[in-house]
Amino acid sequence: MSRIVSVTVQNQTVRIHFKGGQVTDFECIWLRDHCRCSTCYHSNTFQRARHLLDLSDSNIKNIKSDTEHISITWDDNHESIYEADFLVKFDYKTWVEKRRLVPKLWHGEEIAEKVAKISVDDFLSSTEGAREVFQSLLDYGVALIVNVEPTMEATEKVCKALGGVQHTMFGGMWLVHTDIKPTDTAYTNIHLAEHTDNTYFTEAAGLQIFHGLEHTDGTGGETILVDGFYGAKLLEKEFPNDYEFLTSFDIDAEFLEDGHHYRHSGPVITIDKMKDIKQIRFNSYDRTPMAFSSREECLAYYRALKNLSRYYEEPSNQWQFKLTPGVVIAIDNFRVLHGRTSFTGNRILCGSYVSRSDWLDKARTLRLIA
């Protein structure tokens, strides 16, 4: 429990000294906006009760405090009480750091011993099993759920527990095999280079789910994974100009088939204001023809994409393995690129997508992230 040591007010800014040394300033308008009385806040829905434009610009008339609370009377006689445990959360540096995701970068076969490998019963029926799966997704962008019955129905139960099936033009749950008319390179048996899916969506799917149901009368078809963040960090170190280009230049991607035409433009590497990588959006197949403003821009486009692709195609950076019946793999589509070796025979996968909002919602309810 947090403790208040002292409270001072200067120019309508409230400065609170907390036990342990934290000192945080609060502006009047922020405090009034965060009043938790029943007039200002619906505690049953965790939502504000008033519109922003109704927020008063009132000043402090009187303030009192003890070790656990501060109480403010405003100049319109409204009264607000704030708990120390609530206020202590809003030290800016602490608040920002708590919300940062801290991925553990990896390359090559080393990841095989690090990712979670949890039985389906433990994942579906225990909080501990679920926490291990989602922590592995947060840390490495990959998790394995094993002992799953090799059927579409059993796989769907896992997908729902990961956050829910995301419906797209491919459907909700889908099959991948060569008997399907190839509207996408994935439905062929040729080598599939490492990529992320849905670069043509305004928001790509959050998770990619695969379950190898069958592979008979043939060889090959091994899954290839590579940490997109690791490759991007190598690019930043060795080719900083290319890294800068791919974080700022919008690359066009599209998906075309009868009745559908998806298109989106965005950077290959998305970073936030802390310069942390938030998303890799890389798919060599889905690029559209583009016009460029100059010779330099055109050459930078090809140079930067090729340099990044070399890290992803480098075998020592890849994890290659065979998907077998009973093993469901969940892949963070914002981070981990997936591919496939060429194959012969009858190879059938099922899977789905899970939206990023939905799987991060699960991670928050498990108290793994803020």
Question: 119-145 pLDDT, tens per residue?
Answer: 999 999 999 999 999 999 999 999 999
What end-to-end distance do the CA atoms of the chain give, in Å? 19
Q: Are 4-94 and 108-365 in the same CATH fold?
A: no
Which element (helix H / strand E) includes 358? helix 356-365
- What is d(CA 225, CA 232) in angstroms, rounded to the nearest whole number? 15
What does the DSSP assignment read for 241-297? HHHHHHHHS-EEEEEEETTEEEEEEE-SEEE-TT--EEEE---SSSBPP---SSHHH
Q: Write down the domain spans for the chain.
A: 4-94, 108-365
Question: 50-87 pLDDT, tens per residue?
Answer: 999 988 888 999 999 999 999 999 999 999 999 999 99
- Give the residue from 147, 120, 119, 116 showing the smallest Cα distance to 134: 116
What does the DSSP assignment read for 66-110? -SSEEEEEETTS-EEEEEHHHHGGG-HHHHHHHH--------GGG
CA 185 from centroid of its chain's CA atoms: 25
Confidence class for position 181, pLDDT limits 50, 70, 90: low
Class of domain 4-94: alpha beta
Output the CA angle 258-262-268, nearest 5 degrees: 140
- What is d(CA 7, CA 5) in angstroms, rounded to the nearest whole number? 7
Class of domain 108-365: alpha beta
Within 13 Å of residue 305, how many CA atoms lie on the same side as its CB? 19
Amino acid 180: pLDDT = 58
Question: What's the rounded mean pLDDT across residues 226-251?
Answer: 98
Q: How many other C-beta atoms can be found within 10 angstroms of the C-beta atom of residue 241?
A: 12
Amino acid 112: pLDDT = 97
Question: 151-164 pLDDT, tens per residue?
Answer: 999 999 999 999 99
